């Protein structure tokens, strides 16, 4: 079940340390839904949300999807796109506008709008990055593909003659706007998840996102203080366990694995951030924080899909697909949609009859997980997808 703000608060006995953080899990998305929209300005990846509140601005994910549908790039005549509910963290809000029959195509998404690891620009970058990365995985591959789609000019055309996309292409621009509209990511992508500014070892001690905080050398640095890792991550692990009911060590291990995965790919992907977001720090630091944010948002949306590459060969690819990445979690009831590749399109197909007004869902438990990740249930749903279920 989806946790309400009250239920989340009840889970946290130490109100001075974690209660504000618990409320942020539910209310922060509502706040962001009213915040100034995140946009791609002069190819700058603006990941931070404006502090200016505007009651008339809808959720940016919803806006990005609506634009693609309204422009006719995605055909979804029987779907209704509404603002995501606060507990959805940028997911949900897509319902059947009228009855849909089993096996009916609900949405037709052009293959060119999809981010996939089997695309040649991504393959070219991944091949180079794999040689430079400490630990390369599907997550690094798909993160590279996302950065290439967002910053096509950063791709080295010499690595692959077809790797450098035309930035003036209408589809390229639409894909960039869609990616820039991704608001929520996994838990801790926004510092608000870690508590108010006055909390020690919380949001005020994080620059960028929790994903980019700490290093693999922290264990030795903080051992003398009897911390097993960076204090912010240690405290975050405790809070994560309390929010999900998971074991504290399991929660900490999942956080540490996520950070280790990021640091293993970080240096190899830095140059793909053509113009980093505008925040304090050196050029390298700002690029690193943007890689972390892109990774977190990508992980919260990833899926697997049988796709054909540019040579016509079929392969199981890791991908992020418009519309599908916004669907609500089925919460153990069985998803009512599936993705099917069909030539130049990817189809969102109904797996059963769907009544008018019913939410379109996917099973996030079936999404790809980080290599070595053994987390499950509420812990994984909150950490990777930002979904508060228990």
Q: Enumerate domains of the chain plus CATH numbers.
A: 1-187+296-390 (3.90.1410)
In the prediction, which pLDDT does 169 show? Answer: 65
Cβ-based neighbour number of residue 112 at 10 Å: 15
What gap in Å lies between CA 384 and CA 196, rounded to an integer? 22
Q: What is the chain's alpha carbon radius of gyration, rounded to the nearest angstrom?
A: 20
pLDDT value, residue 312: 67
Is the CB of residue 341 less than 8 Å from the CB of residue 324? Answer: no
- What pLDDT was estimated at residue 310? 64
pLDDT of residue 134: 60
The whole-number pLDDT of residue 238 equals 94
CA distance 333 to 280: 45
* Per-residue pLDDT of the chain in tens (390 residues, 90 and over written 9): 655 433 343 334 333 344 333 333 333 333 333 332 232 222 333 333 222 233 333 444 445 666 788 777 899 999 999 988 888 888 999 999 999 999 999 999 999 999 998 886 666 666 666 666 566 689 999 999 999 999 887 655 433 333 344 444 678 888 998 999 888 899 999 888 898 888 888 988 887 889 988 887 777 788 888 888 899 999 999 999 999 999 999 999 999 999 999 998 898 899 999 999 988 889 999 999 999 999 999 999 999 999 976 666 788 999 999 999 999 999 888 999 999 999 899 999 999 999 999 999 999 999 999 999 999 999 999 999 999 886
Could you give the CA distance from residue 34 to residue 377 in angstroms, rounded to a whole number? Answer: 30
CA distance 105 to 210: 39
Nearest CA among 362, 353, 306, 305 for reference residue 333: 362
With CA atoms as reference, report the closest residue to 262 among 302, 194, 210.
210
pTM value is 0.82
Q: How far, in Å, are 65, 125, 127, 163, 169 from residue 160 at the CA level? A: 31, 9, 11, 5, 19
How confident is the model at residue 224, as a pLDDT?
81
Which residues fall within 8 angstroms of residue 4, CB to CB, at 6 or more apart?
Answer: 26, 87
Report the pLDDT value the prediction gives residue 249, as an integer from 0 to 100: 96
Phi, psi of 80, rounded to the nearest 5 degrees: -110, 130
Residue 176 CB partners (closer than 8 Å, separation 6+): 40, 149, 150
Report the C-alpha gap between 233 and 229 in whole angstroms. 7
């Amino acid at each position: 079940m989806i946790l309400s703000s009250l239920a989340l608060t009840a889970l946290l006995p130490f109100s001075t340390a974690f209660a504000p953080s618990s409320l942020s899990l539910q209310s922060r998305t509502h706040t962001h839904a009213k915040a100034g929209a995140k946009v791609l300005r002069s190819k700058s990846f603006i990941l931070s949300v404006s502090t200016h509140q505007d009651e008339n601005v809808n959720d940016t994910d919803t806006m990005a999807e609506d634009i693609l549908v309204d422009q006719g790039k995605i055909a979804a005549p029987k779907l209704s796109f509404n603002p995501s509910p606060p507990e959805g963290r940028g997911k949900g809000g897509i319902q059947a506008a009228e009855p849909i029959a089993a096996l009916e195509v609900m949405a037709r998404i052009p293959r060119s709008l999809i981010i996939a690891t089997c695309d040649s620009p991504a393959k070219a970058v991944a091949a180079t990055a794999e040689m430079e990365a400490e630990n390369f995985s599907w997550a690094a591959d798909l993160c590279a593909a996302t950065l290439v789609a967002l910053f096509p000019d950063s791709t080295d055309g010499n690595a692959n003659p077809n790797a450098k996309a035309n930035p003036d292409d209408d589809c390229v621009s639409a894909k960039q706007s869609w990616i820039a509209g991704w608001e929520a990511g996994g838990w801790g992508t926004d510092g608000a998840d870690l508590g108010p500014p006055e909390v020690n070892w919380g949001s005020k001690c994080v620059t960028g996102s929790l994903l980019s905080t700490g290093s693999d050398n922290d264990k030795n640095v903080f051992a003398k203080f009897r911390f097993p890792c960076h204090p912010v991550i240690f405290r975050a692990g405790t809070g994560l366990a309390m929010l999900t009911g998971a074991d504290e060590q399991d929660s900490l291990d999942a956080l540490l694995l996520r950070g280790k995965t990021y640091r293993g790919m970080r240096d190899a992907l830095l140059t793909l951030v053509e113009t980093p977001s505008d925040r304090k720090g050196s050029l390298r630091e700002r690029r690193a924080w943007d890689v972390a944010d892109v990774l977190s948002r990508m992980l919260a949306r990833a899926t697997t899909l049988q796709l054909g590459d540019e040579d016509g060969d079929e392969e199981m690819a890791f991908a992020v697909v418009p519309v599908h990445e916004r669907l609500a979690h089925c919460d153990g009831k069985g998803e009512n949609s599936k993705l099917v590749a069909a030539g130049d399109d990817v189809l969102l197909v109904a797996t059963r009859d769907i009544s008018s007004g019913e939410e379109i869902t996917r099973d996030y438990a079936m999404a790809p997980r980080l290599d070595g990740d053994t987390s499950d249930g509420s812990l994984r749903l909150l950490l990777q997808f930002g979904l508060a279920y228990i």
